Amino acid sequence: MRRTFNILFGVLIMLGVQNVSSQDVFGNWKTIDDRTGLPKGLIKIYKEGGIMYGIILKILEEGSEEAVCDKCKGDNKDMPIVGMQVLNGLVKSNDEVWKGGILFDPEQAMTFRCKVWLNPDNPNELMVRGYLAFFYRTQTWVRSK
């Protein structure tokens, strides 16, 4: 009986750990165009040394899978968009928001100040807000497997 309890307790602990780990911002996220509602790309968000980064894993728009950054200047000029870093230098604040870094939009070839946080009502939605001076735009990205 005690052995059965220990096994059941262990399984419950593992399920709890899995549930907690699925509640963070890291992993793969599907970007959704806030104007059309269609998926645009797949982004991998990861952490190195306490700093958040994100790279483009895949373009989901049909016909754009091999797109290059023709509007970019410098090192990114005419480089494939897949593999580009789009989030850079974000750090976690006390309120579970990642900020202080930049968001790069290869479609516009523009860089924005940004902040990122999980939707408090749905941990499978990531809120990504880019700022340009006093203006901002927020996109909702959806967790992908």
pLDDT in tens, 103-140: 999 999 999 999 999 999 999 999 999 999 999 999 99
Name the domain count of the chain. Answer: 1
Q: Could you read off the pLDDT of 28-47 as tens digits, one per residue?
A: 999 998 788 899 999 999 99
List the CATH number of the domain containing 108: 2.40.128.520
**pLDDT: which is higher, 118 or 8:** 118
pLDDT number for residue 2? 57
Where are any strands of DSSP class E within the chain? 27-32, 39-48, 51-59, 85-92, 98-105, 110-119, 122-132, 135-144
| Within a domain: 10 | no
The pTM of this model reads: 0.81
pLDDT number for residue 50? 95
Question: 91 CB contacts (<8 Å, ≥6 apart)?
Answer: 50, 51, 52, 98, 99, 100, 101
| Within a domain: 106 | yes
pLDDT of residue 55 exceeding 50? yes
